[in-house]
């Protein structure tokens, strides 16, 4: 019983410490922006999402492959962008069978440091500009009519992520419950084994039988 109570107390103390750490010591900050790939000319009118062709979609996919490359990730880190970074092109359907029909991409960075989060996103946008220009100039574009990217809205963040904290807290709670059940089960089985086992005193004690009387003849 003492062992069970001690183990349960330890489990709950560790769970409480983990919840406190997640809530107050390890927040995550997200910075995100959505861009559209467009070509603006002198006759450009209307909204950016009304003027795109397959070439704009291909540009979005080409830059997505660029950011998926490990060498690009390494270059981003060398520039100072150490936050977790993701680049996703807008699509219909699911992740297994995506259908790409619009030249939109979402860039997101996530870090425990809010400054690192926004800095990584800005550095990624700088790399995006360089890659878009390089893809076109290497194909013979003259610089007059070229695809550019433009933000849809403004950069969002760095914003603290309360939803992830809630998920982490729930996960810690579930782990604590499972650990408590395991402790109670293990200690209960041990108690049952100890109850069915003879005590050491009984095992060490031997029954002494009375000696038979010595038979002999008196002379």
CATH number of 28-164: 3.30.70.1130
What pTM was estimated for this model as a whole?
0.62
Low-confidence ranges of the chain (pLDDT < 50): 219
User: Which pLDDT tens digit goes with each residue over 96-117?
Assistant: 888 888 899 999 999 999 999 9
Structure tokens at 10: 């330890």
CA-CA-CA-CA dihedral for 122, 125, 130, 136, to nearest 10:
-170
In this prediction, residue 160 carries a pLDDT of 86
Please tell me the distance from the alpha carbon of residue 121 to that of residue 106, in angstroms, as a whole number. Answer: 11
* Neighbour-count burial for 101-118, b at 16+ CB within 10 Å, e otherwise: ebbbbebbbbbeebebbb
Task: Break the chain into its structural domains and give their ranges.
Answer: 28-164
Please tell me the distance from the alpha carbon of residue 105 to that of residue 131, in angstroms, as a whole number. Answer: 14
C-alpha dist (Å) from residue 151 to 48, 50, 154, 188: 10, 15, 6, 62
In this prediction, residue 219 carries a pLDDT of 46
């Amino acid at each position: 019983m003492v062992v069970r109570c001690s183990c349960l107390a330890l489990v709950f103390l560790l769970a409480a410490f983990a919840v406190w750490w997640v809530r107050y010591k390890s927040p995550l900050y997200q910075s995100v922006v959505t861009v559209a790939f467009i070509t603006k000319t002198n006759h450009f009118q209307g909204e950016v999402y009304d003027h795109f062709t397959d070439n704009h979609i291909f540009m979005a996919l080409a830059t997505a492959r660029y950011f998926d490359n490990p060498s690009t990730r390494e270059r981003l880190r060398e520039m100072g962008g150490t936050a977790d970074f993701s680049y996703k092109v807008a699509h219909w359907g699911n992740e297994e069978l995506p259908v790409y029909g619009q030249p939109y991409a979402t860039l997101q960075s996530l870090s425990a440091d809010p400054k690192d989060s926004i800095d990584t996103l800005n550095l990624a946008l700088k790399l995006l500009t360089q890659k878009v220009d390089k893809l076109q100039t290497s194909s013979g574009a003259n610089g007059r009519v070229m695809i550019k990217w433009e933000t849809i809205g403004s950069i969002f963040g760095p914003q603290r992520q309360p939803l992830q904290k809630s998920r982490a807290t729930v996960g810690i709670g579930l782990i604590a419950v499972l650990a408590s059940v395991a402790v109670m089960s293990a200690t209960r089985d041990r108690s049952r084994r100890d109850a069915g086992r003879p005590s050491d005193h009984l095992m060490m004690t031997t029954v002494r039988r009375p000696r038979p009387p010595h038979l002999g003849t008196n002379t």
